[in-house]
Structure 1
């Protein structure tokens, strides 16, 4: 193993050892909200809205865990009557105990996209741990605290315009499985942030509450513009801002999405999910962690072939820089009659850097091949730049 690679491995091991000093039991909250299996979705959503929760545990018989109800699952079932009982829509998350170490905990959060998850003692809930609880630990690791946000931000940012109908924002959030979007004007200048919470709050006040879809503005879209509900003058940071400072802003202001702005133009975005994903990348594992989301049922037949293509390219990338985590989200658009167009967003974390790429094709496999090729080239170019910089340092010294 080359000296520089050995040094990189040592640094990663040091970072992981510091992160994993923290366990779920150290950061979990022991006071939390729950609902009964017989509670109606109307009541569940009302409590989640009032308490600003995206997931809520369902329990019976003195905190015996049954499952959780999440906004994400409700949005996908837009025709569901809100008189439906909670027990009919529960999901079972990966098991977390008080001894689950931070990197393992982060991976479980990434695998579900939940904002908070229950910590179990046997069959009962002993606490709740959130993305924010994980993110708070990152500034304790100096190598991560001093990292510029430009190194992990998403640069190909999906946004909506002020005059777009709300249904455009709702559809985009649903396809990308996200809960907030930047709002820009015709010149590309950031003017606000629109979140699913603002849309639900509006629909709740307007009493549009017969189905979940009506509640989030997707079954009977609200005929108002994005700008009417967006939060004006959002907090932003510059690309060179250290991760520690970005986290401080997020935690103090209770926000999960932070736009990156330079010269008044939107350059990228960073979320608590991105930071949790970074933590998960340090988990000790023999193979790179791969997660694919957004595939519709009819496209799952392509999953094996996609896996083969991704594995092939990751092996090539591993010869240049060891990959630790790869996530891919698939969005599907029907732009030409019944012909679907695929948009793929990929994030690759290696021992050297975080890489983000996008590919759009009419064919899912072509899009996958294009995305993986782009990431391979990005890794190769970055490695060559690093080698050139080292040579220049040696020459100058």
Structure 2
């Protein structure tokens, strides 16, 4: 069947941009859906998803995610494209020293980082990730993002084959078509966990995994000097900078470097009085997931994509 040319330009479709105000925040029961026509979620999802297999090595996956600027990579069967799991930047941080997946390095490979990164993804991926059906709505995606705190949702058909992926950023693009009267200070997290420039990368990984954060502002005497993200730490591995540091291949050498070595010169911040609509647009344009909030040159909060999706969904 040929696609209707009249509909080719409607992505996202006009009706998606006129969403009702209050959205239902109850649990989503996808099993009651009849697998059939595509839902509105597919109008904003990425359809041609780059994937990996369970045998893809950890370092190969990290290199793909670094090159493409991804925070997650679905893992599928090579033949059927059936979804088997997902590897996220949080899984990589966990493996690099943050949590129980570090046992692959410490126990199985006795601290040999170079050996561990050549293991297959099945060793560290998250099996049975939270998914959505192709018949799903944008409201369903908002529910999953807010209630499960998941930044990217694979979309599957009735046979569990991967058909697309939708992210916080995709949803935020739709929700920000409406203006808002709220300010950054209304929605930001004001009790922000921070780190110092001399903290070892391994310690930052531990903190991120333990607290389920994807980023930590780096401060000296309450003055912000940068922000380190889980993606920065992954890129340290993916761009090969880790290997420049190595002489023995031991994990302690990799994770002992100070976090200051990951900070880039570019730092985007915002202030408490800015409108959240403007901030959302800037976040989308700059392709970043959070802004530190600064007042009188001091860090007073953090506003993230998640905070914005939640705020716009409540409007």
Which TM-score band (shorter chain)? 0.7 to 0.9
Q: Does 1:137 align with 2:174?
A: yes
SS at match of 2:145: helix
Find the structure with the greater CA-based Rg.
1
Determine the structure 1 residue equivalent to 2:85: 67
Determine the structure 2 residue equivalent to 1:83: 118
Quickly say closer, same or farther: Cα 1:169–1:95, change in 2 above 3 A.
closer
Count of matched residue positions in the alignment of Structure 1 and Structure 2: 258
Determine the structure 2 residue equivalent to 1:163: 198
Q: After TM superposition, list the pairs within 5 Å mapping 1:204-219 onto structure 2.
A: 204-207=240-243, 214=251
Determine the structure 1 residue equivalent to 2:140: 104
Q: Does 1:116 align with 2:152?
A: yes
RMSD over aligned Cα atoms: 2.8
Q: After TM superposition, list the pairs within 5 Å mapping 1:1-397 onto structure 2.
A: 14-16=20-22, 23-60=40-77, 61-74=79-92, 75=94, 76=99, 77-80=101-104, 81-88=116-123, 89-122=125-158, 123-142=160-179, 145-186=180-221, 188-203=222-237, 204-207=240-243, 214=251, 220=253, 222-278=255-311, 282=314
Deviation at 1:114, TM superposition (A): 3.6
Deviation at 1:15, TM superposition (A): 1.0
Moved over 4 A (4+): none
Determine the structure 2 residue equivalent to 1:285: none
In 2, Cα distance between the equivalents of 1:58 and 1:166? 27
SS at match of 2:232: helix
Residue-by-residue CA offset, 1:207-237 (whole Å, 9 max, x unaligned) = 279xxx94xxxx5554433323213341111
Deviation at 1:14, TM superposition (A): 4.5
SS at match of 2:165: strand
TM-score by length of 1: 0.59
In 2, Cα distance between the equivalents of 1:269 and 1:110? 17
In 2, Cα distance between the equivalents of 1:111 and 1:42? 32
TM-score by length of 2: 0.73
Residue-by-residue CA offset, 1:153-201 (whole Å, 9 max, x unaligned) = 0000111123333334222222211121111222x12121112232333
Deviation at 1:17, TM superposition (A): 5.9
Quickly say closer, same or farther: Cα 1:272–1:196, change in 2 above 3 A.
same
Greater relative contact order (Cα 8 A, min sep 6): structure 1 or 2? 2
In 1, Cα distance between the equivalents of 2:149 and 2:284? 19
Determine the structure 2 residue equivalent to 1:364: none
Structure 2 residue runs without a partner (length 5+): 1-18, 26-38, 105-115
Deviation at 1:24, TM superposition (A): 1.5
The answer to whether the 8 Å contact 2:83/2:162 transfers is yes
In 2, Cα distance between the equivalents of 1:51 and 1:253? 15
